[in-house]
Amino acid sequence: MRLLYPDGRVQHAGVVLGLNGRTEHEGRGAERDAPGPLRRWVSRRRAAAVTGAALACRASAFRDCGGFDAAELPVWFNDIDFCLKLRAAGHEVLFLGDIEAIHQESRSLRTAFDDAMRDAAWSQALGVMQRRWGSALTEDPTFNPHFSRVGEAFEMIAEPPEARVLGWLRAQGQHA
């Protein structure tokens, strides 16, 4: 589901893994009518991950994959972790760009933690994810390798190594 800030700008149009060495929301800050590259911010498509703020799945898949990890990831990354578990179990993660909702994005976190506590908790959660998922946290099978992984998503073109292009084609179900 596409999430919008209260002012109508895009807050979430899917998650890109590995952009700037992190996980980033696609489309953040774009105008509501911005379709994104090849209309990906307003279309139904496969995604590496989506935000837990608007995530739905079968109850059986949620149980089978272990749900959210509230013990080690009580605030950050539990949604990304769950999406990676779904994909590892053979499920697809879909972004539904044709459905929208208004989202306040972490509004309660701004008042619940001071900056130092928030930074420490985020760093701890990132460490858990890096240990748990390794390169799966930074290799996004849905992000075209011809786009740079530095800067904003889809901002710059890069010349990827042939192996990355072939891997991406295989992930898309194409024969290389």
pLDDT in tens, 134-162: 999 988 988 887 777 777 777 777 777 78
Q: 165 Cβ partners below 8 Å, 6+ apart?
A: 145, 146, 176
Beta bridge partners of 49: 15
Average pLDDT of span 22-33: 91
Lowest mean pLDDT among 13-22, 47-56, 94-103: 13-22
Say if residue 110's pLDDT is above 70. no
Please check whether residue 176 lies inside any domain of the structure. no
For residues 64 and 10, what is the distance between their CA atoms, to the nearest angstrom?
32
The reply to whether 14 falls in a domain is yes
pLDDT level of residue 118 (50, 70, 90 thresholds): confident
Q: What is the rounded distance in angstroms from the CA atom of residue 131 to the CA atom of residue 122?
A: 14
* Best CA proximity match to 26, nearest among 143, 127, 136: 143
Query: What pLDDT sits at residue 165?
Result: 82
State the pLDDT confidence band at 73, using cuts at 50, 70 and 90: very high
**Structure-token pair, residue 85:** 């578990």
pLDDT category of residue 108 using cuts at 50, 70 and 90: low
Q: Which pLDDT belongs to residue 127?
A: 94
Total of domains in the chain: 1
Are β-strands 94-96 and 100-102 bridged in parallel, bridged antiparallel, or unpaired?
Answer: unpaired
Domain span holding position 55 = 2-171
Residue 107 has pLDDT above 80, yes or no: no
Cα 3 from Cα 27, distance rounded (Å): 10
Contact 67, 17 (CB under 8 A): no
Q: If you average pLDDT over every residue of the chain, what do you get?
A: 88
Task: List for the chain the helix, strand, coil content (%; round to 5).
Answer: 35, 15, 50
Question: Is 143 domain-assigned?
Answer: yes
pTM here is: 0.84
Backbone φ and ψ for 119, nearest 5 degrees, come out as -65, -40
